[in-house]
A and B are shown apart, each in its own frame.
Chain A
């Protein structure tokens, strides 16, 4: 049987999902940065008794409320698109991580309510400013928690972890799978996205402030946007600095846990190349250009508020650090990478200097430009990560074999006791007990790669050590594991 599936005209299923997912990412990624900057602006405004920061925070939050709904609806479109175009994959993933998604949905409701109340009751809570700031400050951790949940699923799709996650998926784990959720790249993806979102949100706020500075405004409004630009640009810059470092370790994880994706990225293969362009390189050019621009900005920035400026020695140190970092990247990858990144950083720096001097010391044009580039960087980062990933599950795999077997059809959609449903046919060969034990027990603290890389043969001692560290392992189980490892059997 050759299963049919819904075709999306013109774009095709893959590009429709990609386009919708990236549209959602573009908006949803702003949430953390916006919430964070709103809180900081409110706190500064409260402590300094400076109304302009509060005004700025209110305007950012209004923009946030408006775009938040766009993000929500695009997410709904993504869900509908996936369930229609990739029903097998989506249903599997959904049932596999149902409780993760339901918790995420609950947080979604909590966030929507908190965000709405925070903005629409701004003036009503004027006499309770601390409470209002607290309400706004709740948004950042809630947003972080929400997107950690999504990262668990997103990370799993890229690095299911030596087939353990894939196996648990095909064995029909229901609702929650800790092993799949805390997959190898979860931590790095989460760290990278956290800082990237703060940076992206900050640069976009600075960009919006810059755009507003182009308009004729009164002195107070102008001061508000200038302060907003300084504040958010500084926050975004600090977050940006961590990204190449975290990204390096992220790629290290991919090298071992998702080698095909790593090769696609580093060697420019698969969908990473689209239209003859290596989009991963373009993303890195954007990052290098942003580093050059932001360092130059802080070098020449002459702001009255010293809290958002940097001493020259710090800027030089950061510049040197990243020069060495990119040199080491050049050594690992290719020197072409180093020279081109250096060239783009220098071009970015020169452009930043020109823009600031052209606008008579006002960084407004620079804010707008960096805001646009940060948007492009987020889009390209999201695109190449997904494009590098080998296809997770075929669009409609196994429908005819396992999804709706005739003998199970009477049980579908009927409120029956699930225990009465006949067991599903075995999709994959069940691994031996030893393999199962190694996968379950060892991975609690470290990756299986570490076990594989161990060269000595004193497994008894190693297993005893692990038990001394706290591994719960019965003596018989320990013997099974030791025997398997001694015989150098695959796992």
Chain B
């Protein structure tokens, strides 16, 4: 969350306005379009990257347990956000009534979709292999955290873009009231989500590329005893 706040600070130039602010906005649009182009190219590469890096586990029961825990955590978090949302009604109404509800539903459904991946780990190329050793099981579990954003790269990207637009819309009314700092912060955060969404598949691809090789090395060591055997 702090990362997103600091990302929003990159767009402080909007508060200064003028011709420089307009140029900044045009540059931002070009950056977003370039990011979307990069991400489009990476979506196919991501599917191939997941297919090229299988891991194995002897029994998927531990993924089922994590799936249940994730599901329950998402239920609790969503209910908490809904309670906070309904409490906000005492302060008045505005665009936030619609946008905040859409945000809560969108994030909740995203959380449930991630829990779904734990129930079906084969979608992340985790093979159920009874001959899988304990070390291979541990690698499958630890590396699953890297595979989740990769499998959901397109969905995360689209969700961040939609969330960004919703956040900008919810802050826009207050933004035009120059004495309202909150509106400017909300618009900047929305822009942060929007730009992050444009680059998300590219960033997740790089994250996987730089961090997964550690597991590849361990898997290679574990396969040494199996060389030459059927």
**A and B interact physically:** no
